[in-house]
Structure 1
Amino acid sequence: MKLLSWNIQRGHGLRDTCSIARVVADLRHMADFDVLCLQEVSSGYTDLPGADGGNQFMQLARLLHGYTPLAGVATDTQGEGDARLLFGNMIFSRFPVVQVLRHALPWPADAAVMSMQRGAIEATLDTARGLLRVSTAHLEYFSLVQRAAQVERLRELHRDACLHAAATRPGDSDNGPFCAVPRAMPALLTGDFNFLPGSAEYLRLQDPYEDGVPAMRDAWRVRHPALTHAPTVCLHDERTVPFTSDFIFASADLAPRVRELRVMPGNFGPDHQPLLIELD
């Protein structure tokens, strides 16, 4: 199984252009992926040079044939007239999608900095190796207070999902929405976390649990334990030292299946590089 994760920065490209068609073309050249996780998908915004305010959620869904599109809108505000300003994440899957959950992440008041509502989208996929839970998130950039709270919520969501997966719950198709839909213990968590390797938030996300829930592990460390994290941000900006804020975390029970994790090369336009993970 191959999964790509990428902060596309609303389709930002070279020479101040924004093009979702170009993003999809770049993605198809990178890998024949089974699952795609995207951050910074928008609709209605024109603040970036070249942005026309188009609905990128719909554009991506139309262009990525053969995948089930799942939108996770985190920010939904009023635009001009009846238009909505939308910003969030997406997951695309070739596998059957058993269940989708959309989580608003904590947004405690921090008046000192700019911030926005953040979110995570979670999908339980029915793969050839069994159920797999895939989530993608985009955490707050400016506020450490908010980012730390969001890390705690991601830990809670993983714990709850694992306890659901381990439980035998009543409810069948005759019970309508009360039907017990299975969740997966093995999990991948991808995204732009806006923290650095070794930071307090990075370490906290991977802390063990006390009730047998498999901890999350940085897939880069699983696959490349002796190598410094490859940078994922500002590789092509001579004004900035490249750094890492994009990660893929695998639950400890899934970690032995991590065959490869690499940062995709190339100057695609966004400040962020895509990540490709391969599972046995």
Structure 2
Amino acid sequence: MGEGITIKSLLIDLDGTLYHGNRMIKGADLFISQLRTDRIPYAYVTNNASRTPELVAEHLVGMGIEAVSHEVYTSALAAAQYVAQQSPGARVYCIGETGLRQALTEAGLQLVQEQPDYVVQGIDRQFTYETLAAAMRWIREGATFILTNPDLQLPSHDGLTPGAGTIGAAIEAASQVKPVVIGKPSSVLMNYALDRLNIRADEALVVGDNMLTDIAAGAAAGCKTALILSGVTTQANMEEHMRAVGVKPDLIFENLDELQDWIKEELK
């Protein structure tokens, strides 16, 4: 696979692709180091809306993977830009953590508790019934419902925990309004990253472990895609996942070493 593919930049997923929780996936540090050595542009693109880019970079560096904050594009940043472009200075009821709140504020949006123009929701580990009731009320009264990412579950050191999508499902059920989804598998986050890197979609290779999010988002944005069988999608469920999203990856690799070998061949 992969004949005729030419890339100028990589959009790289994090959890399941470069690490599992707090454990680096074998070869991730060398893979990123080689991209830097070869001066191949790349960005870290994550559905995680709870951490700021600075904290994401710290997390990577703590595992031995080179990173700086300006290389990190999160669903929180993309959501903030989306709202700011739609309605500069809008009033936002934020359901989320530090990364989302900071992104919204830095985009010039007003964080409010009453009469918002938008309800923007990410992961919120302090989510309460009262928050659900408020979100339901504002959305039913006309506020636009924005969901940073639809991930139903998140990996943790204790196993899986509820993700932003689970909270979003509760708000959708209560309000009977579907959200605008920013993160993968939506193309919005990918388009945000492409704009920031100032490259065309057909010049980018999306690298990820999840057919249902990473690869689906890359395909939706018009990028080439590389599936790494190190996380959610495996040899056992790959065909099922392809049928579920109706797309196939352009490239499939067992691990990052195989992807690195392919890139070396492309550079010859």
TM range (shorter): 0.3 to 0.5
TM-score under structure 1 length normalisation: 0.33
Q: Which of the two has greater helix per residue?
A: 2
